[in-house]
A and B are shown apart, each in its own frame.
Chain A
């Protein structure tokens, strides 16, 4: 049974992505008691699935290494993974949260030796790679996962695989009797950092994500380019494994669109510029990149990066929202549309099309456990009515990593202000 000590001076952080981790650590390193609740079996959220960050083209795992070290060493921080906040009542300074913990079937005795994975047979689509690869029924979610503990897929519980895994473990780390638990804890303030999810590309019908294998999303492309990803960093297309040297990036795929998301997701322009560099790095002179955009939003100092990428002869920018994609008999996606700068029609064949999908709040408008101010797009607005609940990162708006971390640091202070008020009242 999981036991967590928490008081009205505890800060509850919901979501262990880059925003949640940042908020939790800043508060804990200021001496506050923090409980961090993450739905996935590991911390880091979506940034763990990114290959590089714009505009530095550095690696998310670098910062993650530091953040994980910080969490491992900090005595003020309690981490609950596979956990969800299913209830929240009370008011600033006195909340009660109900937390539901899904069974991991692996306890803290796990040494991440990997024997269980070797023992089991069943394979499943690997969610970490957006289904681009398979993983075993006993698995480490990804190489740097923290906690560095294996997970049993609930689907193998009750099957021979589960017993094999248990038998293979020398450390009594596998507990097939684990059941879902619910626990209640008190807290004075809540930082809501539930983040975002990629917009469902299949809904963007004219682009045929559901019909053409060589139309993929930007998040999938990120896995494709990762040297430690499912293709070992080879940029190949799903239909036939052919190298994808000519690639179209379609901006606002689901964003700024009344049929999908009304808001601008802010990151997609920079993300596509970044991903264009993957293609240019991989194929040099043979690379051909077309970016179809409405407005290129490389805001503030990011303009430097836009200029750097634009300087390359092999990348073109077309001011156009493509009207549709059709596939020719070889499976090449042909992008149709009109270049609006002077009305030029095009029907451009590519090896691969990458849809720069928009950011959607991970929590649906009607799914919040407690009433908070939510705008039309489902993001949380800062408001006094929210009491001791503070959004951090992409729960508040479509933000890039830097702005999320910045925003989360501020959120930590807002939570501390509440906690300190409580403390002053209590002494």
Chain B
């Protein structure tokens, strides 16, 4: 850092701090030990005059601020000075609210406060003001992969916002999985003035609008369409993606993009797996997808039986065909669109022949929302017969078919005859291979493992994105081949920065939802391109300008960082050195935590910025009966939980010293060993839930930390320290009572096993 650091310190005496603590002593600690020349006290630092005081200092050249007062989570909007580096000592939530107000506790409480001042000062020394890397310029180009309804919608939305889009379609014409639609399920519910009742004006199946959409795409100046094309290679990062778009003729063009949307939609389920329903044995058993084609071909004329061209007078729809079933070869999930789809298709028959018998055999009829339930009523008023029935078999019966099923309402095994059977089959996401399947092959330790992994990979579909990433060619998958990011609050919290999935690749969905989803993905893609241009991080550390700096000369090419990065942000060069791609990076610090030789750091978060806090803590001697417990707490869940516990008046042991970390994934083992050697008696790591419903917004941070810590055991025994001195907990933000208890438990443990012998 060229620029010289100018430090300023502030201690707020409000909110009871001056009543509970000896502030002058704290000020002395800050100046004498913290080496901050000028430390000011203020009665209410967050009030306008307090903030002005800080502003003036900054104007006078202060570059590094130590603010002691409330938690870093409080008054964030007031103490918001992006142009300087800042550390905050948590004296309110962290000390006085967490400790009882009684003379006998005064001493330990004051020591707690003093340590937090020391830690804040120490951290500050090692913070630098993050400066944009200017790694790339603004690239407004958005790449959309998939020429179906989802992809076309995404391209149109991007274009409507004034951004150019390239649409890559692997077929000769646009339209994709839904192009054969004859009509679409109505997008709307009944109009406001329509009364309730029967035979009222409810929305009917409507024109699919796909031809119009294709026309719009082709006419749009901002959209470039690549037909019969696929991505041969995609490299780079948000703001500077480079994609080799290659067509069947073998011609390849390379285009640069700011961000990418994967909208490759779905593949129809293969009904060959449903012999019990005579699929394949007779042309008169068709899937819902095939029926659309028949309907489109008939174009309003009576639908005919494929086998002999007889006009269909009776048709049966079997819902959940090969779905919602654990049976081998079936889809375990519900495809979500098939109930309304079958109602729509039943209405095809009703419109051209009201006397046609149309029976829908369903288990649960799933027509959600306002439009959904209206469409169910619509089917009923057109005299579609709905029967809660479980179909067991379809057999040929003369020229027609017999459906055997159990009517669950009439509670009897029965059957019905019909001309045609439609199987409501589901959506299979059209995704590439799970990137970690490839990785499993590459990194298998034994030949058997490699073989097993290879077999898995053989059945994997071809890649769609062909990412030139250290961690595989496509988006990581969550479940059943869908690539959803697994977040409820943040549906677009992608695991490959700047690449957003939209439509049925995320989860099964109908056309309307896919179109809404496309708009959402387009929003995020545009945002990613803009953020990259500013060298700013995207969710969840939005706007963070820091990025991993790395001392190549110290690197041992161990590849841990490139393997562990949850976002596949780090590639390797020919000599297996890490290649950081700043705008792919989400600034979680997992690479920093992974590095055994400590060569990776951020301007505003580094091995030292934490290590120095640990070292700054004043360690009383072995006989003081004042143990010291280091707490490394996830800043998003554990740290707020402790804050709110204090706010709720829940007591915490005075022996803890809490350091918030971006993610447990960023915790370097050096912090653990250094704190042990500097005399800490216990260490508690608090991260978030790490099961299949993992909570970590950096995907694997908590899990990784647990794995790393599992190996520390040996180190402890070498130092002949008890393993109980180190624990890793999963802590939720709601654990107001539990989080402090866990810390008090550690204090109790130490009381039991005794103080560390490493106090000098």
Q: In the complex they form, do A and B come into direct contact, defined as C-beta atoms under 8 angstroms apart?
A: yes
Interface residues of A, Cβ cutoff 8 Å to B:
18, 26, 29-31, 51, 53, 55-67, 69-70, 72-74, 109, 111-113, 143-144, 148, 170-172, 226-228, 256, 258, 262-264, 266, 295-304, 307, 319, 340-343, 365, 374-377, 379, 381-382, 397-399, 401-403, 405-407, 409-414, 416-417, 420-421, 424
A57 to B14, CA, bound (A): 39
Known A66-B697, A410-B516, A410-B523; judge A342-B189 contact (CB<8 A). no
B519 lies within 8 A of A414 (CB): yes
B492 lies within 8 A of A409 (CB): yes
Number of A-B pairs whose CB atoms are under 8 Å? 262
Q: Which residue of A lies closest to B160 (CB)?
A: A417
Q: Contacts of A57 on B, CB cut-off 8 Å?
A: 693
A111 lies within 8 A of B15 (CB): yes
Q: Contacts of B693 on A, CB cut-off 8 Å?
A: 55-58
B215 within 8 A of A: no
Q: Which residue of B lies closest to A375 (CB)?
A: B189
B264 within 8 A of A: no
Q: Tell me the smallest distance from the CB of A38 to a CB of chain B, in Å.
A: 16
B336 lies within 8 A of A299 (CB): yes
A-B contact pairs, 11 of them (CB 8 A): A29-B539, A29-B543, A53-B488, A56-B488, A61-B733, A70-B542, A170-B44, A228-B734, A376-B374, A407-B520, A409-B524
With A143-B736, A295-B365 given, name 4 new contacts (CB 8 A): A111-B15, A263-B372, A300-B334, A301-B482
Q: Tell me the smallest distance from the CB of A344 to a CB of chain B, in Å.
A: 9
B76 lies within 8 A of A72 (CB): yes
Q: Contacts of B734 on A, CB cut-off 8 Å?
A: 51, 59, 61, 226-228
Q: Tell me the smallest distance from the CB of A285 to a CB of chain B, in Å.
A: 23
A409 to B527, CA, bound (A): 11
A421 to B162, CA, bound (A): 8
A65 lies within 8 A of B192 (CB): no
B196 lies within 8 A of A375 (CB): no
Q: Nearest 6 pairs between A and B by C-beta?
A: A63-B489, A410-B519, A342-B411, A409-B520, A413-B523, A263-B370
Known A65-B640, A297-B364; judge A376-B527 contact (CB<8 A). no
A258 lies within 8 A of B196 (CB): yes
B367 within 8 A of A: yes
B44 lies within 8 A of A171 (CB): yes
Q: Which residue of A lies closest to B504 (CB)?
A: A300
Known A63-B489, A148-B74; judge A26-B411 contact (CB<8 A). no
B192 lies within 8 A of A30 (CB): no
Q: Contacts of A51 on B, CB cut-off 8 Å?
A: 734
Q: Indicate which residue in B46, B189, B372, B637 contacts A65 across the interface (CB closer than 8 Å).
A: B637
Q: Contacts of B80 on A, CB cut-off 8 Å?
A: 72-73
Q: Contacts of B539 on A, CB cut-off 8 Å?
A: 29, 66, 70
A256 to B365, CA, bound (A): 12
Q: Contacts of A340 on B, CB cut-off 8 Å?
A: 409
Q: Indicate which residue in A307, A376, A406 contacts B189 across the interface (CB closer than 8 Å).
A: A376
Q: Contacts of B14 on A, CB cut-off 8 Å?
A: 111, 113, 170-171
Q: Indicate which residue in B388, B411, B489, B507 contacts A300 across the interface (CB closer than 8 Å).
A: B507
B192 lies within 8 A of A376 (CB): yes
A398 lies within 8 A of B368 (CB): yes
Known A301-B479, A410-B523; judge A112-B74 contact (CB<8 A). yes
Q: Which residue of A lies closest to B520 (CB)?
A: A409
Q: Mark B476-493, 1 if CB is under 8 A from A, else 0.
A: 000110101011111110
Q: Contacts of B194 on A, CB cut-off 8 Å?
A: 376
B520 lies within 8 A of A413 (CB): yes
A409 to B154, CA, bound (A): 13
A73 to B44, CA, bound (A): 21
A66 to B541, CA, bound (A): 9
A409 lies within 8 A of B523 (CB): yes
Known A58-B693, A410-B516, A413-B157; judge A144-B644 contact (CB<8 A). yes
Tell me which of B15, B77, B507, B518 has the highest count of chain A C-beta atoms within 10 A of its own C-beta.
B77
A163 to B725, CA, bound (A): 52
Q: Indicate which residue in B46, B334, B367, B491 contacts A298 across the interface (CB closer than 8 Å).
A: B334
Known A70-B542, A420-B162; judge A58-B74 contact (CB<8 A). no
A424 to B732, CA, bound (A): 46
B385 within 8 A of A: no
B300 within 8 A of A: no
Q: Mark B672-707, 1 if CB is under 8 A from A, else 0.
A: 000000000000000011000101010000000000
Q: Contacts of B368 on A, CB cut-off 8 Å?
A: 264, 266, 297, 299, 398
Known A228-B734, A263-B373, A304-B479; judge A402-B366 contact (CB<8 A). no
Q: Indicate which residue in B332, B364, B491, B733 contacts A304 across the interface (CB closer than 8 Å).
A: B332
Q: Tell me the smallest distance from the CB of B549 to a CB of chain A, in Å.
A: 23
A343 lies within 8 A of B366 (CB): no
Q: Contacts of A379 on B, CB cut-off 8 Å?
A: 189, 370
Q: Tell me the smallest distance from the CB of A228 to a CB of chain B, in Å.
A: 6
Q: Which residue of B lies closest to A299 (CB)?
A: B336
B434 within 8 A of A: no
Q: Contacts of A112 on B, CB cut-off 8 Å?
A: 74
Q: Which residue of B lies closest to A55 (CB)?
A: B693
Q: Tell me the smallest distance from the CB of B159 to a CB of chain A, in Å.
A: 9
Q: Contacts of A300 on B, CB cut-off 8 Å?
A: 333-336, 507-509
B76 lies within 8 A of A69 (CB): yes
B370 lies within 8 A of A375 (CB): yes
B189 lies within 8 A of A424 (CB): no
Q: Tell me the smallest distance from the CB of A103 to a CB of chain B, in Å.
A: 20
A264 lies within 8 A of B480 (CB): no
Q: Which residue of A lies closest to B529 (CB)?
A: A30
B530 within 8 A of A: yes
Q: Which residue of A lies closest to B531 (CB)?
A: A29
Q: Which of B1-29 contact A (CB under 8 A)?
A: 14-16
Known A63-B490, A143-B648, A376-B192; judge A417-B508 contact (CB<8 A). no
Q: Contacts of A59 on B, CB cut-off 8 Å?
A: 732-734
B491 lies within 8 A of A73 (CB): no
B647 lies within 8 A of A405 (CB): no
B461 within 8 A of A: no
A301 to B513, CA, bound (A): 14
B753 within 8 A of A: no
Q: Which residue of B lies closest to A109 (CB)?
A: B47
Q: Mark B634-646, 1 if CB is under 8 A from A, else 0.
A: 0011001000100
Q: Tell me the smallest distance from the CB of A182 to a CB of chain B, in Å.
A: 25
A263 lies within 8 A of B162 (CB): no
A256 to B369, CA, bound (A): 10
Q: Mark B398-411, 1 if CB is under 8 A from A, else 0.
A: 00000000001101
A341 lies within 8 A of B408 (CB): yes
A262 lies within 8 A of B162 (CB): no
Tell me which of A301, A307, A340 has the highest count of chain B C-beta atoms within 10 A of its own C-beta.
A301
B369 lies within 8 A of A73 (CB): no
Q: Tell me the smallest distance from the CB of A265 to a CB of chain B, in Å.
A: 8
Q: Which of B181-222 contact A (CB under 8 A)?
A: 187-194, 196
A341 to B407, CA, bound (A): 9
Tell me which of B479, B490, B538 has the highest count of chain A C-beta atoms within 10 A of its own C-beta.
B490
A206 to B47, CA, bound (A): 56
Q: Contacts of A343 on B, CB cut-off 8 Å?
A: 411
B371 within 8 A of A: yes
B520 lies within 8 A of A402 (CB): no
B614 within 8 A of A: no
